[in-house]
Chain A
Amino acid sequence: MTLGLCAYAITLDHELDLLPGTDVRLVAHRGLGLVVADVELTQFAELDTDPAIDGPGEDDPLVVLARRHDAVVRAVFERRPVLPLRFGTVLRDEAAATRLLGERHALAKCELDRVAGHREWGVRARLPHRPDDRAVRLDGLSGTEYLARRRKRLTAAEHGRQRGAEDAAALHAALTRHATDTAPRAHRSPGLLLDTAYLVPAREEAAFHAELRRGVGGVEVALTGPWPPYSFARLELSAGDRSEAIAHA
């Protein structure tokens, strides 16, 4: 049994009446707050199991912890500006939490100001499936006819992809006008023309959504969110000179 302090997010120092019935609490220091809860460290050690073939289910230990992380971050996010921490940030004790806030005070404050009043939205665009093509029957064609038809279809598909890419670029440009910042997903899957997170200020949300509803001709658009600004808190907060003394115990 080893207890540690799981840190979920940095926020402003304020009354934290969230998630009643849990031990989630705030360690406050000079106007900032670190949202923490006691955790049994063996939980994190045991995550490295079962490489499920079909992907993890809701009862997977990692998924349970990840959902909890999201729930805590969201509960804070609904009330105050929040900088979500990377999953699995575990500190030794409250003294470490206070030290962390003290040493990164200026940068954390500045980042909180940047995301305050914003929500993150995820947008994906892809080419729609075109069911009309499938009516074409290939039986009974000569070899030449068959090849000609295949070439025609390939060309049409290529044109479709080009148009889709242009539409997606136009959509991205339109959405960016309503966003403070954008973050493309690092590894976009090949079928997607757009896979980007947008940091949208409250006053621009209506316009942002109107832009999505207006849509653009040839692409199918999917929206996720609102999210806490997960994709816009990608920074590393290092402790400066003193970090090496306490790092990775």
Chain B
Amino acid sequence: MDGNSNSLADVLERVLDKGVVIVGDIAVNVVDIELLTLRLRLFIASAQTAREMGMDWWTGDPFFTPRTADRSVEPGREPAELERLRGRITELERALGEAPAEKGARR
């Protein structure tokens, strides 16, 4: 249980959102900072950090996302799969490119 892996999201959450608020004496308008905090919280909730914050519970549930449930794909295999699909798309595009005249004739 390593406690020293404090991520950026964790640091921001604590530094921006917590701590003593001093009322009075403040030269910089705190209200602006509060708004900033709110917006930043939205950034944090965005895709990049959602996973580590536990907001991706559905991605591992095959009921909700049956196609992506298998995370065991080795990194090496992905490019080959991509390559195959790219080839397939090119093929289909070529086929479509040849087809329009025929389609037009049918209408």
Contact = CB atoms under 8 A, between A and B. Distances in A.
A53 B48 CA distance: 9
A225 B6 contact: yes
Given A88-B30, A231-B18, A239 B24 contact: yes
A85 B69 contact: no
Interface residues of A, number: 85
B19 A237 contact: no
A9 B10 CA distance: 19
Interface residues of B, number: 57
Contacts of A17: none
A201 B63 CA distance: 43
Contacts of A133: 61-63, 69
A106 interface: no
Contact of A237 (B13, B23, B36, B55): B23
Which interface residue of B3, B16, B19 has the most chain A CB atoms within 10 A? B19
A27 interface: no
B80 interface: no
Contacts of A122: 10
Interface string B4-26: 01111111111110111111111
A202 interface: no
A244 interface: yes
Interface in B44-92: 44-50, 53-58, 60-63, 66, 69-72
A88 B27 contact: no
Contacts of B33: 44, 86-88
A231 B14 CA distance: 7
A172 B22 CA distance: 31
A50 B20 CA distance: 27
Given A86-B18, A87-B19, A48 B24 contact: no
A99 B25 contact: yes
B19 A223 contact: no
A144 B10 CA distance: 46
Contacts of B24: 100, 238-239, 242-244, 246-247
Contacts of A191: 54-58
Contact of B25 (A91, A127, A212): A91
A56 interface: yes
A124 B1 CA distance: 13
Contacts of B3: 121, 223-226
Contact of A230 (B14, B60, B72): B14
B73 to A, nearest CB: 12
Interface string A23-57: 00000000000000000010010011001111110
A138 interface: yes
Q: Which 3 A-B pairs have the closest CB atoms?
A: A191-B57, A243-B24, A129-B60
13 contacts: A4-B28, A48-B32, A55-B47, A86-B21, A131-B60, A133-B61, A189-B45, A189-B50, A190-B57, A224-B7, A233-B18, A243-B23, A244-B24
